[in-house]
Amino acid sequence: MIRVAQLGLGLAMAVIIWASFLWARPAQNFVGESSRIVFYHVPMAWVASVAFLLAAWHSAVFLKKRRMESDDAAAAAARLGFVFCVLATVTGSIFARVMWNAYWNWDPRETSIALLLLVYGAYLGLRGAIEDPERRATLAAAYALVAFATVPFLMFAVPRMYASLHPDTVINARGKVEMSADIRTVFFASSFAFLALFAWLFSLDRKVSRRLREARS
């Protein structure tokens, strides 16, 4: 069953990559073929945010129930979130170079993702600085939750005060998805595939952490 799901995900990814470059047509108002990055950049940014949400959720569960499995999950979400956050930053930066001629413009969205990177880095750094597993789990969970409470202030408060260069978000201010049918199909397929990829890696990471812990005790 799991083998079938993995095989399916691999095939779906292959089809999506093909479709993203060869089937979907480039969107209007974008330089050249640059709009194709939406199929990769946006799902990655979504996964990075979902992972942050998951890390905070499992941190809260850990503080409530004090089961190390929750700590494994929070750490796994943060590790993967960090990777996807780096990928989203790099792809966004490449797009920025093509569209606006500079890799980094301190656009509100770029600032937000830089902050998310900092939070992930700080969280993982803190985990590295504590020897005792239980203490590490507790302090990291507390930090993740405080960061979860403060990050939105940049994500939501500061960017809205200023105009952004960033293209309309997928669901734009008018509450509609304004994409041509072919782009929309590939985009949502890709988002789903990236989330599935994340879910798979997430469960793998948790499994590895649990086995490591069992081997030690």
Is 12 exposed, middle or buried, given 0-12, 13-18 or 19+ CB atoms closer than 10 A? middle
Between 21 and 106, whose beta carbon lies closer to other proteins?
Answer: 106
Angle at the Cα of 140 (from 138 to 146), degrees rounded to 5? 105
- Residues 148-207 close enough to bind other proteins by CB under 8 A: 149-151, 153-154, 157-158, 161
Number of residues that bind other proteins (CB under 8 A): 34
Contact 205, 80 (CB under 8 A): yes
- Among the candidate windows 25-33, 45-53, 114-122, 170-178, which touches other proteins by CB under 8 A? 114-122
Q: Which tokens hold the place of 13?
A: 């990814």
Which residue stretch of 8-16, 130-138, 188-196, 199-207 sits at the interface with other proteins (rule: CB under 8 A)? Answer: 130-138
Determine how many CB atoms are found less than 10 A away from the CB of residue 125.
Answer: 9
Q: Tell me if 68 contacts other proteins by CB under 8 A.
A: no
**Angle at CA of residue 207, ends 1 and 127, nearest 5°:** 150
CA 56 to chain CA centroid, nearest Å: 14
Q: How far is the CB of 155 from other proteins (least distance, A)?
A: 8
Examine residue 139 and tell whether it contacts other proteins (CB under 8 A): yes
The one among 53, 122, 165, 171 contacting other proteins by CB under 8 A = 122
111: exposed, middle or buried (Cβ count in 10 Å: 0-12, 13-18, 19+):
middle
Nearest distance in Å: CB 44, other proteins: 20
- Contact set with other proteins (CB under 8 A): 63, 111, 115, 118-119, 121-122, 125-126, 129-135, 138-139, 141-143, 145-147, 149-151, 153-154, 157-158, 161, 216-217
